[in-house]
Amino acid sequence: MCDDFEWDSDDYEMRDARRKFKSAMVQQFNDLYGTDEEDLNSWQNLCRILNIGPVPEGLKECREVSICRVSFIMTWDG
């Protein structure tokens, strides 16, 4: 995208676009999974999306396996 718009790394428009993109991603995540970090249903839904099975029944377990899975995915892709 930076090439398409001919943005440099210190370009204001590039930083503004990145900020808006990040904001949109956070908003989409919050819309899908909620903002209550104590909501077991939201955590279980995230586990399903991450193909974690069986889906843990407890909040602590959901958090642990979700974090492990996301860390693995980010390491694998990155």
Q: What is the DSSP string of 1-44?
A: -HHHHT--TT-HHHHHHHHHHHHHHHHHHHHHH-S-TT-HHHHH
- Calculated CA dihedral for residues 56, 57, 58, 63, nearest 10 degrees: 30
CB 43 within 8 A of CB 55: no
pTM over the 0.85 mark: no
Q: Read off φ and ψ for residue 53, nearest 5 degrees.
A: -145, 145
Share of the chain above pLDDT 90, in %: 49
pLDDT class for 74, splitting at 50, 70, 90? low
Please report the pLDDT score of residue 69 as a whole number: 80
pLDDT class for 40, splitting at 50, 70, 90? very high
Q: Please confirm whether the linkage preceding 56 is cis (ω < 30° from 0).
A: no
